[in-house]
């Protein structure tokens, strides 16, 4: 989706930083024509990896947890 030059002017530095961080081009609609702001650096697949939070439970926690409220009978 293309943004307007006014929106670009209002958020110029944030939008440019987003292009640099994500590698996704920014499209600007000016008088019906589309302009593209892109980075010349291609991001590798590893640069696009997003950290995910992982929860870990010990065997003892799983064994000693009361699952009665979570359990639903199969119908």
Q: Is the dihedral of CA 66, 69, 71, 75 positive or negative?
A: positive
Query: At 3, is the pLDDT very low, low, confident or very high (cuts 50, 70, 90)?
Result: very high
Residues 6 or more apart whose Cβ sits within 8 Å of residue 8: 15, 26, 28
31-59 pLDDT, tens digit per residue, is 999 999 999 887 677 877 888 888 888 88
pLDDT over 70, % of the chain: 99
Q: Which helix (H) or strand (E) holds 27?
A: strand 26-30
Report the distance separating Cα 31 and Cα 5, nearest Å: 10
pLDDT over 90, % of the chain: 43
């Amino acid at each position: 989706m293309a943004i307007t030059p006014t929106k670009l002017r209002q958020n110029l530095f944030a939008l440019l930083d987003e292009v640099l961080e994500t590698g996704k081009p920014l499209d600007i609609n000016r008088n019906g024509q589309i302009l593209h702001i892109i980075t010349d650096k291609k991001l590798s697949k590893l640069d696009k990896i997003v950290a995910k939070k992982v929860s870990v439970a010990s065997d003892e926690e799983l064994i000693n947890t009361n699952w009665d409220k979570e359990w639903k009978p199969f119908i």
